């Protein structure tokens, strides 16, 4: 176990975000941040109400 | 169209109470652990590009618990006690739900009619989740996809008193360790449905340059943070380079890379800043981001790369095998 004067780094790593190579992903505007993709139908049943605080 | 944030280990969050699970519940080859936070107060760093009112959040997780009405993961406001929009189990443990949380009260916005989280007691295998938030505020849409299928579409107010936007990831948990493990967490300003995931590039060997003290890669690659052991230097411009694991097998392309360190600088030191980057396969080009000024307490430092800085800003290819990640003191 060791630390020292100056800059200390205790954990260090990288990440790579990997995405499909399909045409859909080559055209990101096909489903941008404000577009709702047409996937399986919604089955939302119950709506807003307070529940017990966690 | 860009990545706002990504992460999947304790190093990516500011709270010290992250639970790290290494015995399953994550995709081997992509991640080396999963995480949760039983105090539900863990936050990522704020998005470098600023706060948002619309975004996508994706992650992998599994459930093996009989929890109801709990916050597991969400997009929150960093200036609050994790106020924001959350995913978790609803009034039944097997019903996926979306909530808003104002720091005190958890309000169910909508839950699915089905039971995507499993029969009777919530049990679901490792699954990809995508949460889409559109126009956070008085007139919003929140969609939840599980395994690529839309299971909740909420339209209405998501307004929370005191905040007008969301700027970081909030991490919560179920009632027990290993019940609600999250991994491969990504936030983007475009659809994440086609995102395959997040590959952890953990140090697995010493690289081309070892100019720091205590330089061995094992001193900075723990799965669980250990601030009692560091690599360190008090001279500026010093490089510390480490090799990382190869990418998993698959057909994909790299959209962005993040390099993250948990770092601190001692008071009054000569070196008080840190640059993060990497060098390319033959170590001919090293490139880092800008210098980050460090505080005296350990905290995350992040750098994002949308293109390859070692290759003239070209797009990343299919893998980063052979690249080394780099620390440079400043």
Pick the residue from chain A with its C-alpha nearest to B239.
A7
Per-residue pLDDT at B64: 73
Is A52 in contact with B69 (Cβ distance < 8 A)? yes
Mutate to test the interface with A, among B50, B54, B252 (most CBs of A within 10 A): B252
Residue in B128, B177, B229, B154 with CA at minimum distance from that of residue B24: B177
Per-residue pLDDT at B100: 98
Q: Which residues, listed in sequence order, are joined to residue B259 by a DSSP beta bridge?
A: A14, B303
Distance CA B123, CA B52 (A): 33
Per-residue pLDDT at B280: 84
Q: ipTM for the complex?
A: 0.95
Residues in A touching B237 (Cβ below 8 Å): none
Is A13 in contact with B191 (Cβ distance < 8 A)? no
CB-closest option in B195, B203, B231 to A17: B195
Encoding tokens for residue B101?
Answer: 């949380």
Q: What are the extents of the domains in chain B?
A: 3-188, 203-329
Domain with residues B203-329, CATH architecture: Sandwich (2.60)
**B248 CB-near residues (< 8 Å, 6+ apart):** B29, B30, B199
**Two domains, one topology: B3-188 and B203-329:** yes
Nearest Cα of chain A lies from the Cα of B239 at a distance, in angstroms, of: 12
Residues in B touching A26 (Cβ below 8 Å): none
A33 near B CB under 8 A: yes
| Count of CA atoms in the C-beta half-sphere (13 A) of A13 | 29
Give A36's pLDDT tier (boundaries 50, 70, 90): low
Per-residue pLDDT at A25: 43
Is B153 in contact with A42 (Cβ distance < 8 A)? yes
State the count of interchain CB pairs (< 8 A) between A and B.
Answer: 285
Nearest Cα of chain A lies from the Cα of B252 at a distance, in angstroms, of: 5
Domain B3-188 is found in CATH 3.40.30.10 = no
Per-residue pLDDT at B25: 83
* pLDDT tens, per residue, chain B with 330 residues: 799 999 999 999 986 678 888 887 899 999 999 999 988 999 999 999 999 999 999 999 987 777 899 999 999 999 999 999 999 999 998 899 999 999 999 999 999 999 998 765 666 778 999 999 999 999 999 999 999 999 999 999 999 999 999 999 999 988 875 667 899 999 999 999 999 999 999 999 999 999 999 999 999 999 999 999 999 999 999 999 999 999 999 899 999 999 999 999 999 999 999 999 998 877 788 899 999 999 999 999 999 999 999 988 899 989 889 999 999 999
Per-residue pLDDT at A44: 47
Task: Quote the Cα angle for B55-B61-B63, to 5°.
Answer: 125
Residues in A touching B234 (Cβ below 8 Å): 4-7
CB-closest option in B99, B143, B229 to A36: B143
User: What is the maximal distance between C-alpha atoms in chain A?
Assistant: 58
pTM over 0.95: no
CB-closest option in B172, B199, B294 to A18: B199
């Amino acid at each position: 176990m060791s630390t020292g004067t100056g800059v200390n780094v205790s954990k260090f790593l990288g990440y790579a975000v990997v995405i499909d190579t399909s045409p859909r992903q080559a055209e990101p505007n096909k489903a941008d941040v404000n577009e709702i993709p047409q996937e399986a139908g919604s089955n939302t049943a119950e709506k807003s109400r307070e529940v017990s605080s966690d | 169209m860009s990545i706002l944030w990504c992460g999947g280990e304790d190093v990516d969050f500011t709270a010290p109470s992250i639970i790290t699970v290494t015995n399953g519940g994550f995709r081997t080859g992509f991640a080396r652990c999963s995480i949760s936070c039983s105090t539900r107060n863990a936050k990522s760093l704020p998005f470098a590009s600023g706060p948002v009112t619309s975004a996508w959040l994706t992650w992998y997780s599994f459930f093996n618990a009989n929890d109801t009405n709990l916050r597991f993961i969400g997009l929150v406001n960093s200036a609050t006690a994790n106020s924001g929009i959350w995913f978790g189990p609803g009034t039944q443990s097997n019903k996926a739900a979306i909530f808003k949380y104002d720091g005190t009260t958890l309000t169910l916005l909508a839950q699915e009619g089905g039971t995507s989280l499993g029969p009777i007691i919530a049990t679901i295998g490792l699954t990809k989740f995508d949460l889409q938030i559109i126009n956070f505020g008085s007139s919003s849409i929140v969609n939840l996809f599980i395994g690529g299928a839309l299971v909740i579409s909420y339209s209405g107010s998501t307004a929370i008193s005191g905040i007008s936007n969301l700027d970081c990831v909030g991490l919560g948990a179920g009632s027990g360790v290993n019940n609600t493990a999250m991994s491969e967490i990504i936030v983007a300003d475009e659809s994440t449905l086609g995102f395959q995931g997040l590959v952890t590039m953990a140090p697995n060997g010493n690289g081309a340059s070892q100019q720091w003290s205590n330089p061995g890669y094992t001193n900075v690659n723990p799965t669980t943070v250990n601030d009692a052991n560091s690599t360190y230097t008090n001279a500026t411009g010093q490089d510390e380079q480490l090799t990382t694991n190869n990418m998993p097998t698959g057909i994909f392309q790299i959209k962005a890379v993040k390099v993250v360190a948990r770092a601190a600088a001692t008071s009054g030191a000569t070196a008080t800043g840190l640059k993060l980057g990497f060098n390319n396969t033959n170590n001919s080009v090293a490139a880092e981001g800008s210098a980050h000024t460090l505080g005296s307490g350990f905290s995350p430092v992040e750098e994002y790369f949308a293109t390859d800085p070692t290759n003239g800003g070209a797009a990343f290819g299919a893998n980063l095998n052979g690249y080394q990640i780099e620390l440079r003191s400043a």
